Amino acid sequence: MQAIVHDTYGSPDVLELRDIDRPVAGDTQVLVRVHAASVNAGNWHMMSGLPYVVRLAFGVPRPRQKIRGHDVAGEVEAVGSRVTRFRPGDRVFGGCNGAFGEYACAEEEKLWPMPANVTFEQAAAVPVAGLTALQALRDHGRLQPGQRVLVTGASGGVGSFAVQIAKSFGADVTGVCSTTNVELVESIGAVRVIDYTRDDFTDTDQRYDLLLDIRGTRPLSRCLRTLNPSGTYVLAGGPRGRWIGPLAPVFKLLVAKPFVGHPIRNFVANINREDLSVLSDLMASGKVTPAIDRTYPLSQVPDAIRYWETGQVRGKVVISGS
């Protein structure tokens, strides 16, 4: 089979399309014929080996797992001896290792059946970004109907899901984005949109019950000013960097937490079938529609990641297979 492989850390130039052996599903795994995948921050971190602390987990001085890609949508090709929920031919989506290939193996617990009204490209856009948004709002933000929520980075992968999911929960949603993305954020359900090139969302009289801060680019002290007395701050992701990168705002939260009156949360999304089923139902009902900016073939994964690096992506970048 063909897959995108890299032997060293670096820029997208290290990624190569190669012929490799097709993986074999373990006892609890499903072999998926990949129809689509999508680009996430994690793909970039593991490709570049940045921040350097990534290498402690994924290989020093070179990556142990050489095929990138985590979000997957496709058809079941084969199942392990202990798999009970899927059979060959089923359309599934979820998380795996090595989705940038023609085939990939995924744990049964990290897959869910695709809704009939969703394409492979749409389903592949969902897992990491959609689950991050869902778990941030529901589990860490404790969002309730009628509450006011502010989502920064509202036109990006996580943000575009967060706006739609918050609306489906009955929240009053305000999104923050650039001028070119205002129309998109309005179209997916934001009642109000703040153009950060013109206005500072931390310098208004508006107060919110929940701030979902994607990447944490503004000082925490200013963000907390936007909250009601009992409001919650949730951080998702962080900036790129050479040494600690997205961990920098996490460390700041840990230091500040004992001295802050508001609940402040940070987390890493957990891919699981229960939450994939929630997102599946939201897509089936039309309450959530994945926003896809561009689609690239498998051979152009390096170009897809270069585009993701620009920071100008509206929604998700998808890799389309056969």
pLDDT single digits (tens) 170-220: 999 999 999 999 999 999 999 999 999 999 999 988 999 999 999 777 888
pLDDT band at 258 (very low <50, low <70, confident <90, very high): low
Is 58's pLDDT higher than 80?
no
Cα–Cα distance between 302 and 308 in angstroms, integer? 10
Residue 252's CB is within 10 A of a number of other CB atoms, namely: 17
Cα–Cα distance between 233 and 210 in angstroms, integer? 6
Poorest-pLDDT segment among 142-146, 237-241, 274-278, 284-288: 237-241
Q: What percentage of the chain exceeds 90 in pLDDT?
A: 78
Terminal CA-to-CA distance of the chain, rounded, Å? 12
Give the closest residue to 73 by CA, choosing from 52, 54, 51, 92. Answer: 92
pLDDT band at 254 (very low <50, low <70, confident <90, very high): low
Give the closest residue to 37 by CA, choosing from 293, 320, 291, 273. Answer: 320
Reduced to 3 states, what is the DSSP secondary structure of residue 318? Answer: strand
Is the CATH number 3.40.50.720 carried by domain 128-266? yes
Task: Judge whether 114 and 280 are in contact, CB under 8 Å.
Answer: yes
pLDDT given for residue 11 in this prediction: 95
Backbone angles phi, psi at 178, to 5 degrees: -85, 170
Residue reference for tokens 């949508």: 73
Residue reference for tokens 């990556």: 63
The residue extents of the domains of the chain are: 2-126+290-320, 128-266
> What is the mean predicted confidence (pLDDT) over 18-36?
97
> What is the mean predicted confidence (pLDDT) over 41-58?
81
Residue 77's CB is within 10 A of a number of other CB atoms, namely: 19
Q: 215 is written with which tokens?
A: 């990447």
Cα–Cα distance between 265 and 177 in angstroms, integer? 22
Task: Judge whether 303 and 296 are in contact, CB under 8 Å.
Answer: yes
pLDDT given for residue 255 in this prediction: 58
* Mean pLDDT for all residues in the chain: 91
Which run of H or of E encompasses 186?
Answer: helix 182-187
Is 43's pLDDT higher than 70?
yes
Tell me the whole-structure pTM to 2 decimals.
Answer: 0.93
In order of 10, 12, 65, 273, the CA distances from 52 in angstroms are 12, 17, 16, 31
Q: What percentage of the chain exceeds 70 in pLDDT?
A: 92
Is 57's pLDDT higher than 50?
yes
Q: Which CATH superfamily is domain 2-126+290-320 in?
A: Medium-chain alcohol dehydrogenases, catalytic domain (3.90.180.10)
pLDDT given for residue 316 in this prediction: 98
Is 242's pLDDT higher than 90?
no
pLDDT single digits (tens) 99-149: 999 999 999 999 999 999 999 999 999 999 999 999 999 999 999 999 999
Reduced to 3 states, what is the DSSP secondary structure of residue 250? Answer: helix
pLDDT band at 244 (very low <50, low <70, confident <90, very high): very low
Is 259's pLDDT higher than 60?
no
